[in-house]
Structure formats: structure tokens, C-alpha cells
Chains A and B, each alone.
Chain A
Amino acid sequence: MSINVFEKRAFLVAVASVAVSLALIAYATWGMGINVPTCIPLGSKPFEQASVTKHEGKNYEVHYVARMWAFEPSVLRVPTGSTLDIYAVTKDVTHGFLIAGTNVNLMLVPGAVANSRVHFEKPGIYTIVCHEYCGRNHQNMNARIEVSDQIADYSVEGLPASEGMKLLDAKGCLACHSVDGSAGVGPTFKGAWGTPVTLTDGSTRTLDSALFLQKVLHPDTITVKDYPPVMPVLPLTDDEISKIEAYLEGL
């Protein structure tokens, strides 16, 4: 039995074409250093708060949080030439995270952290698009990164949690309550959200929105055991309260 020469050639050309493609992919991966996202081993659970951290030079570490149907932060401004290490998670369903015009293309899957790095050589407005169907308002879900020659450092919008931190500072809460677990006049906020607290009347309640709201609006009605009843009434708006809550939840 002998196979026809053209049949052999067709087979060889098919194999050779694939071999060339594989070689090019290997070059792109190792030669040019372009890789796909990998697995970030999780210590316990993914972060819950969006944040921007400045490292040396124009390097920033950005933690994005996606939810139906917005990204936090919604606007990030960085100087031209910045490198961003992006970590992103979702609070609810699976979302997509594509920065149009770059190679950043991630799936944000519940329970896992997605990671990529991007370098912005050219100024411009880069749209972050949610490209995975995430419910009724999926088409509204985007954010942007503004890269500009005109600025020296980053600025950010739409970080409810970090705005919460600013509010705690501005309203004077931090005078009595720490956010790092250290002792103060009042109990620390660190790790307190969602955990039970014992009150002076001996009852135990969970620190949730209801308890928080009651304490903020009517501080004299409840007091945590072993602490003095000295908290003043604070004029906070609903919006401010929800931003503080967002921050405390992730603390």
C-alpha cells in the first residue's frame, strides 16, 4: 500500500503550518513576554475594597471591584508613562474587564482574583468595558482610565470605600475609633463589621446596617459594653453613611 504523493504533501503542509503557528506563539510568549492571565493563589478570600496604591516612580497598584453594574474606581487619572498592576474581583456575577486599545482582557469570576499589567505610553482616554453579559444593565457598565501629560500624580473617582475613609477622618470618628485594631476611647472598626457586639444592657447584636444607623443617629440609645457613653450625634447624610459602611464592610 503506498499513499499518493499529493496526499502526503497535504498532510505535511497541514502539520508544518501548525508547527509554524506554534513556534510563533512560543516566541510571543517567551520572546516578547506576552502571556495570558494566570492563577493567583488565594490566602483566604478575595479583597473586597477598591483602592489605588502608589509605588516607586510611575507604578501604581490598582484594585478594581466590579459589581452589577459599575466598576470601582470609575475614573482613574494617571500620568503618561505609568505602569499599572491591576487586580480585579467581582462582588456578584461574572463580569468582563477589557481596557480597549490594550492587551488587558480579563474575566472577573466570583471567588477569584484576576491580574494583569499594563503600561500607558500614549496619553488618551481608555475605556474599561465589561464584556461579559452580567444582567439587564450590562451595556451601562464601564469605567475609564485617563492618561495625561499634564498631571504628575494619580487621582481617582468613584471609590466609595476610600471616600468612606476620608469621611471617617473629616467627621472626627478616628479620634475615638481606630481602623487598625489599636485601642481607643471607642471600639476599633477593624474586623468589626458583621461580628457580634455585647452591649451594656447585656444583649448581643451583630454590627450591621441597622445597628450602625441606630448608633450614628441616636448614639445615646445603645452603648458597647466596657466603653463610655460619650459618642456625640453626627450630622451624616444617607450617602455619607453608605460610603462609610462600604469602607467598614471591607475592613
Chain B
Amino acid sequence: MYAARNIDLCTKDCLCLFVCPTGATDTENGQIDKNACLDGCRLCVDACPSHAIYLVYTKYPEPKEKNPEVSEKLTALMEKTYNQELMVKTLGESSKNPGEQRLARALEKSLRIVAEDCAREAGYMLPQSIQVQDLLKLLLTNADEEQKLLLEKLLSHYS
């Protein structure tokens, strides 16, 4: 676990500098140097008057198992939503009316967010989870060279 700063909340009172034993909080780019940060130390988190510092976990628990039937239906809903996204994309690209093009772009983005939320609740929430690792391995079986390289990179990072 190491500390990270939410720069939107940081009020530059700089109390984190007073308590950090390694100087990890004192950087020019507004971020905390995670290589210098002490695992789980959290002194800066507690000292910050604006609650702008939090701990980023490096290990995550395996998510609560989902009901297979509900998960399957939610996946189907995600697929339908992705299909609709592809439909509005086509429409936007073929349309000559600026208003319709903008509407299509808005719908495309909105539909993607809805589909992502379905994916999350269907069990694809954490990159570290077994379900995601299984998916990456499954994709590997049918991947071209470029895809294979990237999938292997992810699998080795999260294994």
C-alpha cells in the first residue's frame, strides 16, 4: 500500500511534508513518489487537513462470487448495449447533419458507460481477479501476434 494524492482536493498546506519519513510526498509533479513511499505507513494520509491523500492497494481480495445466471443475463445486456453503440456509431459516421452526428457521439459514449457498468457487475471489476485472468487467457487462444503480446504483458503483470 502506498500513498497517492488527489490533486483536485489538495490545498497545498503541505503538512504531508512535515510527517513523511522519506520525502516521498515532496515532489514537483504533485504526485507522491511511490518508489520512495513506505508500504502502509499512512502518516501523510492522517496528517493531511484536506483529505487529499489516500492509500493505493497493491493486493486486492478476490471479489464476492456472482450468481452465474444473473451474471450471464447481465453479460447479455452488456452485449446488447455494445451492439447499440455500434449502431449509433455507424449512424453518426454516415449522417450529414451536425446535430445528428453530435447526438450519435453522445449516445455512443453514454452506451459505452452503461455497458462498462454491466461488465463490472457481471464480474469483470478487478484486473487482478481470477475471472479477468481467465478472460485474458481465453482471448489469448484466438489472438493475433499484436494482441498476444499485449495480453501476455497483462497476464504477467497481474499473475
A is bound by B: no
